[in-house]
Structure 1
Amino acid sequence: MLDAAARRLIDPPLNRAGRALAARGVGADAVTLAGLALGLAAAAAIAGGAPGWALAPLLASRLLDGLDGAVARATQRTDFGGYLDIWCDFVFYGAVPFAFALLDPANALAAAFLLLTFYVNGTSFLGYAIQAEKRLMATTDQGLKSFYYSRGLLEGTETILFFVLLCLVPQHFVPLATTFGLLCLATAIGRVLRARAILT
């Protein structure tokens, strides 16, 4: 829901930084993998009992997740780069709930529910993208992407804010994860209904 507005704010400075990195020979895939490494470091900090310390690598990871596309636009966009980007995103999004389950076994059921809803929402997103590609549909609402990004109630910006909140108040993981998971299900159902209207 917030991605389009967020992109308008962050794309200009990211594009400048991307051009500067590209001029120094830094590749987009390297930025993507560095972002994943930082995201996994954040998850490790959470699992190790220091969710507050996870904030810096978590936010840096998401910054690099936006920066890799800027580097690609300044050099050469590739299909593999787009594939690697979304794969790393899903690894990161799965690692954080898993880390909270490791942090406290009392979180395990809510973390499992959250991962289920991420899976349901993710398949609604990727399935829509596949069908949109077949129909030559296009959108730039969330910036220039490698494939079709269907809008929803929850998008990347909301998920990042949610992860930040979890790190700030980890003792409230269970109600927060349950609520966010229900909103993920609502997002997925909305995409499925929209797909039924558009793709039939």
Structure 2
Amino acid sequence: MLDTHGRKFVQPIIHKTATHLLRMGLTANQVTIMAFFTGISSGIWFFYNQPILAVIFLWLSGYLDAVDGSMARMTKPSPWGTVMDVTFDRLVEISVILGIAFLYPELQWALLLLSVSIIFSITIFLTVGAVSEKQGMKSFYYQAGVAERTEGFIFLTLMMLVEPFRLEITLIFVAVEIFTGIQRMLEARKLLKDVN
């Protein structure tokens, strides 16, 4: 939701950074890889009891992820860039989930539910993107929802920083992901005109 409706407020800064990195000779795919390594370090920082660094690296990776998309649109988006982008996004989330799970084994059952709910929501997102004839700013149809990347980062941040309520925050995140998956499924039915 925030990605869809709030992007216009931060896009000028993202565009400026994208322009600067292109002038430096970097490609969108190179920045995607930078965002990936920055992001997966987040879970490692958390596991080593450095939650502030974990959050900083998580959000820096998210910023670079937004910048690489702008860079791609300013040059030429590539299908390989899209594959890397979507795959690396999930691996960054997995890194944080694993960092929390290894440090707090008592939360593993809730983190497993979270992982399942993310798989459910992203499966619908990717399937609709693959079968839809519509195309958005990305190289596939982007199906908005209550939980997009920014909301996920907010929940992951709270899970890392708000220790007394880590379980409750995780379960709320699970509920929001399930709601988003159902929301996307219902929208897909209308979008694809499949009323059987």
Settle same-fold status: TM greater than 0.5.
yes
- Which category of TM-score, normalised to the shorter sequence, fits these structures? over 0.9
Q: CA offset at residue 138 of structure 1?
A: 2.9
Q: CA offset at residue 82 of structure 1?
A: 1.2
Q: CA offset at residue 10 of structure 1?
A: 1.6
Amino acid at match of 2:87: W
Three-state SS of the structure 1 residue aligned to 2:125 is: helix
Unaligned runs of 5+ in 1: none
Inter-partner Cα distance in structure 2 for 1:13 and 1:73: 15
Match of 1:138? Answer: 135
After superposition, give the CA deviation of every residue in 1:31-64 in whole Å (9 maximum; x if it has no partner): 1111111111111011222222212111111110
Match of 1:66? Answer: 66
Amino acid at match of 1:129: G
Match of 1:178? Answer: 171
Identity %: 28
Match of 2:103? Answer: 103
Is the contact between residue 134 and residue 140 of structure 2 (CA under 8 Å) also seen in structure 1? Answer: no
Match of 1:122? Answer: 122
Three-state SS of the structure 2 residue aligned to 1:61 is: helix
State the number of aligned residues.
193
Inter-partner Cα distance in structure 2 for 1:34 and 1:158: 22
Match of 2:144? Answer: 151
Inter-partner Cα distance in structure 2 for 1:72 and 1:194: 28
Q: Which moved more, 1:178-187 or 1:4-13?
A: 4-13
TM-score by length of 1: 0.91
TM-score by length of 2: 0.93
Match of 1:82? Answer: 82
Match of 1:33? Answer: 33
Amino acid at match of 2:134: M
Match of 2:14? Answer: 14
Cα RMSD of the aligned pairs, angstroms, is 1.3
Three-state SS of the structure 1 residue aligned to 2:85 is: helix
Q: CA offset at residue 81 of structure 1?
A: 0.9
